[in-house]
Amino acid sequence: MTMFDLALKNIKRNLKHYALYIGATVFSIIIYFTFATLKYSDNLSGLAETSRQIRGIMSGSAFVLMIFVAIFILYSNTFFMKKRKKEVGLYSLLGVRKKKIGYLLFFENMMIGIISLIIGIGLGFFLSQLFLAILLKLMGIQMELGFTFSSQAVIETSIVFFAIFLVTSLLGYRVIYKFKLIDLFQAANKGEEKPKSRLIIALAGLLSLILAYWMALQDLMTSDVWHHLGLATPLLIIGLTIIGSFLLFNSVLVYVLTKLKKREGWAWKGLNVMTVSQLLYRIRGNAKTLTIITILSATTITAGGAVFGMYYNTDKTVQSFAPFSFMWQGSQHEISDESVEVAIDFEVKNIRVSSEEMDREYNIINQSTFEQLAQALDWDNIESINNKQEEALLIDPFYDERWSEKTEEVLVDGNPYQISKMYTTSIVNIEVLSGSMLVLSDEQFEALDHKAIDYHVIQLDNYKKHADLSEQLASSLGTENFSSAIRDYQESLKSSGTLLFVGSFLGLVFLLATGSIIFFKMMTEAEEDKSKYGILYKIGVSKREMKQTIRYQMGFVFVAPLILGLMHGAVALIAFSNLLQMNLWKPILWWMLAYTLIYIIYYFITVRGFYQTTMQEEN
């Protein structure tokens, strides 16, 4: 029998063992292929001409995905090889040469790779259609989709994964040389030192986290940190976060568990002593895994939250610079549509005020126009001018307290006006009429000797529904001095929709990966712990109690990184929303909730898997 036959037979016989590994590789291939298909899709490249950033986003994301997929496959491959150590040991014991076993593992791995590649590309083809449809929907584009099969995507996927499999196969080949027969006979984890909690490590961990958080919350424009460190800052923040998380897991968890173990009243009740000891026993190895899970969770939460927040805020962003559905300058244009709620025509006078530093332009409207507009926008703090000779209102949508100077007084044609109140939200569509706006009393406005320009605004009941009306108006008015909320909305959806898609796609991948890594890790432990639960069974521990201790142990492993990950994510997102001056709390909380829910589902699946693995022997 040739080595090839043996490898093939091996896979066929042990299909069940291989299923998890093959599943993981097929999953990775599907994900990558889907993404590659989208990248090369004709529908998308058509769009890419109009919004170029999509291409950039897709290529960058594909690279991230590639690195990630490689790590993921390596991880599951290690898990898979660990499971098969006994088999390899047996071959060795029977006198098969290491070289031959190495060949066997190499062939086997390559075969699995090629089979997975075929399955993955096949399934990925159908999935990519689904994803493409979702993407276009999110971007707000209605388009008929033909079945596209991208040969470029196939080639790219094949090359990437062939390389990955080659590396894992070579690693598999290497495993056999590192393998010692004695490992087979010695029980794992013999005589592991009891971990000690050191205060200094806990403090170091806490300190690096605080430092990372502090740096993350610094203002990009004004802080010294950014000034001195520049682009190294984010790297430093990430590095400190990782180190801090690891040190905290290593010390604080040990401390808590040791303390719990010492409280005899609690510990010596049921299997509590077992739960705590098991966690303590594994804390070294677990600290690493917990850190990886924390970082993955934080990344998923941050990326997803940011992207989802921006998508969620598209509406608000549009509203902030185009508060009216339509606005244009020039002649009146009658719109006989029942969806029109408010139509206001008004005059604006433009003045230029010179001061020592710079000239400023002001658009002036009168008090009654201001009231009309503000009422149409449901403003609730409409101020009126008391002293008509000397007071004015100022609307400055670009005011930013961090660097703008507050205007107290404005000179209009030589007459000083006190600013009695300032508004920082735009009252008209900025696209048509930008800059600061001054409100004078009707009489003072009338008295101004400047040319009045006519403007018209229209508010519809729901601007998003009237794309056709917008196009009609645009064609009859000319696009130059015309602003339409729906048009702006569509534009921003195009970019934020892509971001959302890419973000949620990567988020989904990270999410699944996080789950799989915990799952693999726990199944490895379950395999090791089998005999322990066998002993408990013989001592007379009921299955219910064993299930409980498993639930607690898993719960600990799941909850600790989730809490830390949520914290990291929250800080990152606060920094993000500060940077963009957006209020993202609501979408971020929703996103975190969604993440936590999925995470909880993983928990239950893992507990089930663990329980089934450890209980196998008894049933």
Query: In terms of CB distance, is 231 or 535 closer to other proteins?
Result: 535
Map residue 581 onto helix, strand or coil: coil
Query: In terms of CB distance, is 129 or 278 closer to other proteins?
Result: 278
Pick one of 274, 365, 477, 502: the residue that binds other proteins (CB under 8 A): 274
Pick one of 57, 201, 254, 280: the residue that binds other proteins (CB under 8 A): 280
12 binds other proteins (CB under 8 A): no
Stretch that binds other proteins, among 201-209, 489-497, 499-507, 541-549 (CB under 8 A): 541-549
Q: Are 18 and 109 in contact (CB under 8 A)?
A: no
Closest CA to 333 of 197, 204, 516, 481: 481
DSSP state letter for 234: H
Closest CA to 45 of 153, 156, 161: 153
Pick one of 103, 214, 226, 281: the residue that binds other proteins (CB under 8 A): 281
Sheet holding 340-354, edge to edge: 409-412, 415-423, 391-395, 436-440, 359-366, 340-354, 452-460, 326-329, 482-484
Query: In terms of CB distance, is 99 or 532 closer to other proteins?
Result: 532
270 binds other proteins (CB under 8 A): yes
Stretch that binds other proteins, among 268-276, 320-328, 346-354, 514-522 (CB under 8 A): 268-276
Closest CA to 139 of 462, 506, 492, 484: 492
Query: In terms of CB distance, is 230 or 540 closer to other proteins?
Result: 540
Q: Burial, 281: exposed, middle or buried (Cβ in 10 Å; 0-12, 13-18, 19+)?
A: middle
Q: Are 112 and 11 in contact (CB under 8 A)?
A: yes
Stretch that binds other proteins, among 1-9, 209-217, 260-268, 554-562 (CB under 8 A): 260-268
DSSP state letter for 220: T
451 binds other proteins (CB under 8 A): no
226: which 2 tokens? 């950014």
> For residue 352, which phi and psi values (nearest 5 degrees)?
-125, 130
Report, in Å, the least distance between residue 285 CB and other proteins.
Answer: 13
228: which 2 tokens? 């001195």
Query: In terms of CB distance, is 111 or 541 closer to other proteins?
Result: 541
Report, in Å, the least distance between residue 254 CB and other proteins.
Answer: 14
The string of DSSP codes covering 179-215 is --HHHHHSPSSTTPPPP---HHHHHHHHHHHHHHHHH
Report, in Å, the least distance between residue 279 CB and other proteins.
Answer: 9
Pick one of 144, 224, 264, 400: the residue that binds other proteins (CB under 8 A): 264
> For residue 439, which phi and psi values (nearest 5 degrees)?
-110, 125
421 binds other proteins (CB under 8 A): no
Strand-pair category, 391-395 with 436-440:
antiparallel
Chain CA centroid to CA 150, Å:
28
Stretch that binds other proteins, among 128-136, 149-157, 263-271, 320-328 (CB under 8 A): 263-271
Pick one of 61, 278, 470, 614: the residue that binds other proteins (CB under 8 A): 278
265 binds other proteins (CB under 8 A): yes
Map residue 472 onto helix, strand or coil: helix
553 binds other proteins (CB under 8 A): no
Q: Are 114 and 16 in contact (CB under 8 A)?
A: no
Q: How far apart are CA 39 and CA 462, in angstroms?
A: 34
194-223 positions binding other proteins, by CB under 8 A: 194
Report, in Å, the least distance between residue 555 CB and other proteins.
Answer: 18
Pick one of 166, 419, 545, 596: the residue that binds other proteins (CB under 8 A): 545
Pick one of 45, 53, 152, 189: the residue that binds other proteins (CB under 8 A): 189
Pick one of 537, 574, 590, 598: the residue that binds other proteins (CB under 8 A): 537
310: which 2 tokens? 């921006």
538 binds other proteins (CB under 8 A): yes
Q: Are 412 and 351 in contact (CB under 8 A)?
A: yes
If one counts every other C-beta atom within 10 angstroms of the C-beta of residue 541, the result is: 17
> For residue 149, which phi and psi values (nearest 5 degrees)?
-120, 115
Q: Are 573 and 305 in contact (CB under 8 A)?
A: yes
* Residue in this structure with the two tokens 């390559």, named with its chain if needed: 110
532 binds other proteins (CB under 8 A): yes
Query: In terms of CB distance, is 193 or 359 closer to other proteins?
Result: 193
The string of DSSP codes covering 133-184 is HHHHHHTT----------HHHHHHHHHHHHHHHHHHHHHHHHHHHH--HHHH
Count of positions on this chain that bind other proteins (CB under 8 A): 33
DSSP state letter for 402: T
543 binds other proteins (CB under 8 A): yes
Stretch that binds other proteins, among 121-129, 336-344, 474-482, 533-541 (CB under 8 A): 533-541
Query: In terms of CB distance, is 539 or 597 closer to other proteins?
Result: 539
350-389 positions binding other proteins, by CB under 8 A: none
DSSP strand E in 355-408: where?
359-366, 391-395
Query: In terms of CB distance, is 280 or 432 closer to other proteins?
Result: 280
288 binds other proteins (CB under 8 A): no
Q: Burial, 225: exposed, middle or buried (Cβ in 10 Å; 0-12, 13-18, 19+)?
A: middle
Q: Are 454 and 477 in contact (CB under 8 A)?
A: no
Query: In terms of CB distance, is 56 or 270 closer to other proteins?
Result: 270
541 binds other proteins (CB under 8 A): yes
186 binds other proteins (CB under 8 A): no
Report, in Å, the least distance between residue 547 CB and other proteins.
Answer: 12
Query: In terms of CB distance, is 168 or 278 closer to other proteins?
Result: 278
Interacting residues with other proteins (CB under 8 A): 189-192, 194, 264-265, 267-274, 277-278, 280-281, 531-532, 534-545
